[in-house]
């Protein structure tokens, strides 16, 4: 009599994934990650950052998050984590934070850096001009991604170290990766799309 095969473990089983929880859409990312079996850790302190296998930088207001990372003493630990290869996924404002260069930044705005790209803030207009589109992302498989754009940035230049993962029909780049870093201008978590989070979990498991 054959023994039934054990079910495959959830993609996030045994992984602790942090979400920078200073401002922005933390809840939606937490729901997606928990749905994939990961333990979610809200990160507001350097000690919490040190405990995770991967990190999400959520959407929100990039200039506000930038100021809060400094107020909470997280800027240097985050930069060290990026340099150390911690798998990180940034959405919308998170993409801006990961970019090496930013156009239309407010006075004094800084980024964490790590992605060899230039991004432009609020490239798709105001909140009431938000939209959703079906976006091909070949690296994630043949099925297109449901991508929600909310006051989103765009990538205006991709450096030699980074790779574009997705572009709109007009050619504007809206998803990139570089080593352990992944970023999208849009919010897949809003529409229930989890393949970018799965990609983060794959990187986190490889590192763990």
What is the set of active-site residues?
92, 187, 189
DSSP code string of 130-193: -EEEEE--GGG-SSPEEEEESS--EEEEE-TT-EEEEE-TTS-EEEEEETTEEEESS-GGGGT-
CA distances to 56, 76, 144, 202 from 69, rounded to whole Å, are 14, 9, 34, 26
> What is the C-alpha separation between 5 and 26, in angstroms, rounded?
36
Secondary structure element (H or E) that encloses residue 119, with its range = strand 115-120
Q: Which of 53, 26, 23 is nearest to 38 (CA)?
A: 53
Rounded Cα distance between 204 and 22, Å, is: 22
3-state SS record for 16-75: EEEEECCCCCHHHHHHHHHHCCCEEEEECCHHHHCCCCEEEECCCCHHHHHHHHHHCCCH
């Amino acid at each position: 009599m054959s023994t039934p095969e054990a079910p495959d473990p959830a993609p996030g089983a045994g992984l602790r994934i942090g979400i920078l929880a200073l401002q922005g859409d933390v809840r939606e990312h937490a729901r997606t990650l928990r749905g994939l079996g990961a333990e979610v850790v809200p990160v507001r302190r350097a000690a919490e950052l040190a405990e995770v296998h991967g990190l999400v930088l959520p959407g929100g207001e990039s200039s506000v998050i930038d100021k809060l990372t400094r107020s909470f003493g997280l800027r240097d630990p985050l930069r060290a984590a990026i340099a150390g290869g911690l798998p990180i996924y940034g959405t919308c404002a998170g993409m801006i934070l990961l970019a090496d260069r930013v156009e239309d930044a407010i006075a004094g705005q800084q980024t964490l850096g790590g992605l060899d790209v230039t991004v432009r803030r609020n490239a798709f207009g105001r909140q009431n001009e938000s939209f959703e589109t079906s976006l091909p992302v070949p690296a994630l498989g043949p099925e297109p991604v449901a991508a929600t754009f909310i006051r989103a940035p765009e990538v205006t230049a991709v450096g030699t170290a980074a790779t574009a993962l997705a572009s709109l029909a007009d050619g504007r780049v809206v998803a990139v990766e570089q080593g352990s870093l992944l970023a999208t201008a849009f919010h897949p978590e809003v529409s229930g799309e989890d393949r970018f989070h799965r990609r983060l979990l794959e990187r986190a498991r490889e590192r763990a």
